[in-house]
Amino acid sequence: MARNILSKDKSTLGCLTLFALPFAAVGTFTAFLMVTSLWEWYSMQSWHETPAHIEQVHLVSNNGDSSETRNVTVSYKYSYQGNEYNGSRVGLHSGSDNIGKWQQRTYNELKGLPGGKKQFRCYVNPKNPSEAILYRDLRWERLGFYALFTLVFGGFGYGLVIFGLRGRKKWQTEELLKAEHPDEPWKQKTEWLSGRIRSGSKAKLTGAVLFAVFWNAISAPLLFVLPEEVLEKGNKPALIGLLFPLVGLGLIFWAVKSYLQWKKFGESYFVMDKVPGILGGPLSGVIHTGVPLVPESGLSLTLNCVNRYTSGSGKNRSTTEKILHQESRQIPREWFLKDLSRQTIPVIFAVPFEARQTDQSDTDNQIFWRLEAKAKQQGVDYEAQFELPVFKTEDSSADFSLSPYETPQYQEFEPVSSLLREGILYTPKTGGGLSYLFPMARFKGAAAGLTIMWIIWTGAIVFMINLGAPFIFPALFTIFDLLILYGVLDLWFYKSELDIDSQMLRFRGGLFGGGQSQIFTIEELKTLHAERGMQAGTKLYYRIILTAKDGKKHTLAKRLSSKQIANEVIRQVLKAVSSRSGL
């Protein structure tokens, strides 16, 4: 069985190599053209300048499906050491192209020579006088074109080959591990088997640099084409092409930031106390940072259960990460100040029993657990991520929980201050009741970010309309624009109120606090629970759901920044209602 799997992997690697070879070949060929051009240029610097008579000059245009290429052809005569020669070579690079204006500029210069004799100059090879050239200068835009193809095609092709060769041994080892441990998936990967998980900072840096280079190599030529398209040809819709270089600038910033983080912190490792992390059990270990950390405001640890899935087909395929579970802990700054040489960070979480276990069997629909560590530092901030094995084992228990004695390094959860930081206002009432107010604009950063996105999106629609784009494009953009606008209004202006006593629960929520009031008697209530709500980037927000005995569900509060806070609100509500509720 193991041999069949390995042979299948060999076949896959062979296909990968065959797929990569054409790209590598194109990159190799353009690298050859670039090197030979530079060598010819260097050699021609010693050629002798000699008068030449231009006999014919033509500019040949070739119209393709979407572009026009030009090629200037010249015939000329020259004398060298008493002998007459005919020449036709114009520049270092032969053939048609539309890179820059060299062809048109050269034609205009030669065609516009004064007098009937059309005198010019050429450069003659003293070792072979029959070989001459009119222009021996480098065309930097042409060399840039070669470099682009060398980098993109050659880098992609050879990168795939190297990736396949380097990954072959690892794949074979892991397939053998799968055969040896079919019922213990946490022993089927080499890094899981050792329990020493690399943060992947170097891989992040490599990916950031390669993607930034790849994107900018493709989009940079637009900076040379767009001025002619817009200023000379009046093609204003071409301005949309500027979005690609702008994205490229953002990718360069990302690559530089990744480099500075790597240079400052290097690679971090998470050493697990026990492999795997257990559903209904602990996930614990120590992060080794490599350098001491002195966070400005403490360090945050976040454990995420992520569903990474791919949808669509062909060019429309897209990959999305949906956070199914998120839990955070905070280590205060004072803990680090006790030992300024500290290079280890203790980690312990209680993993929910009902959560989903790691599952990477389907590459288009994976479940994985990711531990994130973040700390604001002077200069660049510390960030590390670790993908960890979490499975249900014989040690799993639905009743598992951590005691405070197991987490002394973590900042204690303080209900009052936590709710106030969240912007939630609550007032105890006489007789044991409570009233809650969830004000508008509790998360101004998220609201401002989505507002900026909406402004940019709306500006793009206006831009398309002014440029006379086909109706279908602004129409489709407008649909998404309205959805974004709804999110903006909801983040800025949604407000809700809860009023609880021993007999009933009153709820009202909507934009500006509007909406119809809903009243539930104690007898009508069935359950209160927290569930995942909106996701902004990698941040998951929770909401509180009331389920009535008639089966209908009602959202009492939303955008709570942690499940811990949501559960605290639920705990207080349950405490306030009568024991007759049955909740």
368 and 301 inside one domain = yes
In percent, the amount of the chain with pLDDT more than 70 equals: 89
Q: What is the mean pLDDT of residues 436-457?
A: 89
Of residues 582 and 438, more confidently modeled: 438
Residue 200 lies inside a defined structural domain of this protein: no
**Quick one: pLDDT band at residue 97, thresholds 50, 70, 90?**
confident
287 and 361 inside one domain = yes
Residue 582 has pLDDT above 70, yes or no: no
Query: In the block, which residue shows the tokens 């001025």?
Result: 227
* CB within 8 Å of 31: residues ≥ 6 apart: 146, 150, 154
**Quick one: pLDDT band at residue 221, thresholds 50, 70, 90?**
low
Residue 255 has pLDDT above 60, yes or no: yes
Among 74-78, 208-212, 256-260, 277-281, which stretch is predicted with the lowest mean pLDDT? 208-212
Residue 239 has pLDDT above 70, yes or no: no
452 and 569 inside one domain = yes
Q: What is the pLDDT of residue 143?
A: 86
442 and 404 inside one domain = no
* CB within 8 Å of 489: residues ≥ 6 apart: 511
377 and 272 inside one domain = yes
**Overall domain count for the chain:** 3
Most distant CA atoms of the chain, gap in Å: 118
Domain-ending residue, one of 110, 135, 160: 135
Is the pTM higher than 0.85? no
Strand order in the sheet with 425-428: 425-428, 434-438, 494-500, 504-511, 518-521
Residue 301 lies inside a defined structural domain of this protein: yes
458 and 376 inside one domain = no
Residue 474 lies inside a defined structural domain of this protein: yes
Residue 346 lies inside a defined structural domain of this protein: yes
Q: How many CB atoms lie within 10 A of CB 385?
A: 19
* Cα–Cα distance for residue pair 548/522, rounded to 1 Å: 10
The domain in which residue 511 lies consists of 438-581
* Cα–Cα distance for residue pair 57/92, rounded to 1 Å: 17
Query: For the segment 312-335, what is each residue's pLDDT rounded down to a tens digit?
Result: 776 667 788 999 999 988 898 888
395 and 475 inside one domain = no
Residue 5 lies inside a defined structural domain of this protein: no
Domain containing residue 398: CATH number: 2.60.40.640
Residue 70 has pLDDT above 80, yes or no: yes
Residue 397 has pLDDT above 50, yes or no: yes
Of residues 500 and 168, more confidently modeled: 500
- Both structure tokens of 29: 């060929």
Residue 166 lies inside a defined structural domain of this protein: no
Secondary structure class of 168 (helix, strand, coil): helix
* CB within 8 Å of 391: residues ≥ 6 apart: 185, 186, 276, 277, 278, 279, 357, 358
- Both structure tokens of 298: 């403490």
Domain-ending residue, one of 79, 113, 135: 135
Residue 212 lies inside a defined structural domain of this protein: no
59 and 95 inside one domain = yes
Q: What is the mean pLDDT of residues 206-224?
A: 75
Domain-ending residue, one of 83, 118, 135: 135
Residue 293 lies inside a defined structural domain of this protein: yes
406 and 453 inside one domain = no
401 and 458 inside one domain = no
Of residues 1 and 173, more confidently modeled: 173
Secondary structure class of 501 (helix, strand, coil): coil
**Quick one: pLDDT band at residue 155, thresholds 50, 70, 90?**
confident
